[in-house]
Amino acid sequence: MSSSRLKTYPGLQPTDFMHPWDVKATGALKNVPGLDKLIAKVMEYSFERVYYLQNVADNVRVTESMFPKLHRYLTWGCKILDIEEPPEFYVSLDPAYNAYTYGHTKPFIVITSSLLNLLDEKEKMFVICHELGHVKCEHVLYTLVAENLAALIEVIGKMTLGVGSLLGAGLALPLLDWYRKAELSADRAALLAVQDPAVATRVFMKLAGGAESLVEDMDQAEFLRQIRAYEDRDASNLDRAYKLLLTIFRTHPFPIMRAKHLDLWVREGGYAKVSGTG
């Protein structure tokens, strides 16, 4: 793939593309009592530094000479999304399909080797730019808190004879709710970068049920029909309750729902408005 055909967005602001659910959840999270104390504990215990050192020791850093294609995708993504300084980027040997961005003062991106093996070149750029979307939207501070919530609840509980554990537990659901909705904004950033909705759909389809030996037999139209079938299950209150219970403790929305929300953004004109393609 070539960067020469990709449009850039000088001056792009997170508010230009953030999902309204993310905006609302972020506002609600800032009003949760005790969140400021939890963030202070994150910084006090230097979780960010520990994870950074572990990452540097255990993974391979992407540079101009190490995985140069991945490095180009990172560089292109930063240019397209108007991110001044590219974050550090690492590849981890891991059988799980995963990618994440970690760190507030010095964010870094990690993508597992198995996920890279599953994706084609454009899809790899989509995933990289999804992670850049988290950096662009400044999601990484709350992500740092969410990722360390269990440890923080234990620390605060011991310091306050158990009272703080109740505070921490009360923060868990709002944090996880925000976490899921932040993913929808990062997906929008990734689409602005790759500029092809079909690429996004393929990524979600593979994340939902990808097997490297079966990728050629997957059908995007059938996957989109599955999304509509899932939506139809909202017909009863019981189905809606089950959907809530299935989702409430997840850090990420189901891939099928991520596909639905990004497809809606395209069909309703939001993508065209930001990208200038309408």
Instruction: Give the Cα separation of 38 and 34 in Å (integer).
Output: 6
Instruction: Give the Cα separation of 158 and 146 in Å (integer).
Output: 19
Token pair belonging to 243? 């959907």
222 is catalytic: no
Helix axes 47-58 and 140-147, enclosed angle (nearest 10): 90
DSSP state of 233: G
**CB-CB contact of 88 with 60 (8 Å):** no
* Residue whose pair of structure tokens reads 């602005």 in the numeric block: 192
- Give me the catalytic one of 131, 216, 231, 268: 131
Residue closest to 81 by CA, chosen among 25, 181, 13: 13
* CA dihedral of residues 39, 40, 41, 42 (deg, nearest 10): 50
Residue closest to 175 by CA, chosen among 198, 209, 201, 141: 141
Instruction: Give the Cα separation of 203 and 244 in Å (integer).
Output: 24
85: left (phi over 0), alpha (psi -120 to 50) or beta: beta
Instruction: Give the Cα separation of 248 and 174 in Å (integer).
Output: 10
What type of residue sits at position 14? P
Q: Point out the residues that are catalytic.
A: 131
